[in-house]
Homo-oligomer: A and B are copies of this chain.
Amino acid sequence: MTEQPGRSAPVYPTALGVSSVEAITLLGRDLSGELIGKVGFAELAFELIQLRQPTAEEARVFEAVLVSLADHGFTPTAISARLTYLSAPDSIQGALASGLLGGGSRFLGVSEDTAAFLSDTLAGLGSAPADDAGWDDVAATAVRERRATGMAVPGLGHHLHKQGDPRTPVLIQVARDAGCYGDHLRLFEAVGRAAPTVLGRDLPLNGAGACGAILADLGFPVGIIRGVVLLARCAGLLGQLAEEMRRPIAREIFEDVERHAVYRPLDD
C-alpha cells in the first residue's frame, strides 16, 4: 500500500472533453469556437459515441431514430419516474435515473437485441447475397435457427400494433431517402418477409427493431445501442416529469394501487 518508487504516474487517455485554464476542447476541437452554435446536439451525440462526424444524411436519420424512440406514453419507466418524483421531488436526477433503470431486457432492449441478431447473422455470411431472394434465404435460415433455440426473433411482433407498427415503414423510408440503407436494414426487411413462412404466422416488424437495424447500419456498436435508446427516452422522461409538475397523476396512481391492496399469504 506504499507507493512504489518506480511506479509511473497513471495516465488516463480520452478523445472526449479536456479542459485547460484557457480552453475547453471536445473531440479534439475547440468547444466554443468550433462546436457551440455550429453542430446540432444529436450530431454531437453521434460523434461522442462513434468518434467520427456523421454526414448530414446520417445525422438526419439519427434524429429520426431518436424521435421515434423518445416517448411511448405511460410505460413502466414513465410511471416509475413519476412515482419517484412524487416521493422525492427535490431530486429530479433521481426521478430520471429511476425511469432509465427500466431500460433493460424487456421493454427498451429490443433495438439492441435486434442489432445483435442481425449483426451476428451478417458476421456469419461469407459474402453478401446477390438479390432479395438470396437475402430471404439468409433470413429464413437465421429465423429457423433462432426458433430452434426456443428464443423469440427480436424486432418481430408488437403487443399492440398487431397489423403493423406504423413507425417501421416510415423509418425505413427515411433511411432509404438519406442513402443510409445498409445490410442490417436489408436483412431486417428480409426477416419480415421470411418470418411468416418459417413461423407460420404474421408478425409485423416493429419500430424498435427497425431502429436497432438502422443504428447498426449507421455504425453504432451493438453494445452501446441500448444507451442510444436511453438518450432518446431521456427526452421523453423529461416530458413526463414536466407534465407531472404541471398536472400530477402519480399520487392517484399510488393511491389506486394502495386502495386495491389485499393481504394474501403465500399459500392462498
Interface on A for B, CB 8 Å cutoff?
1, 3, 7-26, 28, 30-33, 35-37, 39-42, 44-45, 48-51, 60, 62-64, 66-68, 70-77, 79-80, 83-84, 86-98, 100-109, 160-163, 166-167, 169-171, 173-174, 177, 221, 223-224, 226-228, 230-232, 234-236, 238-243, 245-247, 249-250, 252-254, 256-266, 268
A259 to B236, CA, bound (A): 19
User: A24-B72, A71-B48, A253-B12 are contacts. A104–B94 as well, Cβ < 8 Å?
Assistant: yes
Contacts A87-B107, A96-B230, A265-B28 given: A49-B239 contact, CB under 8 Å? yes
Which residues of chain B are near A98, meaning CB under 8 Å?
A: 80, 84, 97-98, 101-102
Q: How far is the CB of A218 from chain B (nearest CB, A)?
A: 13
Q: Bound state CA distance, A228 and B257, in angstroms?
A: 26
Asked whether A166 and B88 contact (CB < 8 A) given A80-B80, A262-B12, the answer is no
Contact with A105, one of B7, B14, B88 (Cβ below 8 angstroms) = B88
Least distance between A215 CB and chain B CB atoms (Å) = 12
Partner of A239 from the list B12, B48, B64 (CB cut-off 8 Å) is B48
Residues in B neighbouring A76, C-beta threshold 8 A: 83-84, 86-87, 250, 254
Once the chains bind, are B70 and A45 in contact (CB under 8 Å)? yes
Q: Is the CB of A231 within 8 A of B236?
A: no
8 A-B pairs closest in CB distance: A88-B104, A48-B239, A87-B102, A17-B73, A3-B9, A45-B235, A13-B264, A97-B97
Q: Which residues of B contact A102 (CB under 8 A)?
A: 83-84, 86-88, 93-94, 98
A107 to B93, alpha carbons, bound, how many Å? 12
B16 adjacent to A73 (CB under 8 Å): yes
Contact of A106 among B24, B89, B230 (CB under 8 A): B89
Q: A12-B74, A15-B263, A74-B14 are in contact. Are A166 and B22 (CB under 8 A)?
A: yes
> Measured between C-beta atoms, what is the minimum distance from A211 to chain B in Å?
10
For A254, the closest partner residue in chain B by CB is B76
Can you show 29 pairs from A to B with CB atoms below 8 A apart? A9-B260, A13-B247, A13-B249, A14-B73, A20-B160, A21-B162, A24-B161, A36-B64, A37-B67, A37-B173, A39-B67, A40-B42, A48-B70, A76-B87, A76-B250, A77-B83, A80-B87, A86-B102, A88-B93, A88-B104, A91-B104, A92-B230, A93-B101, A93-B104, A94-B97, A96-B230, A230-B238, A234-B234, A253-B253
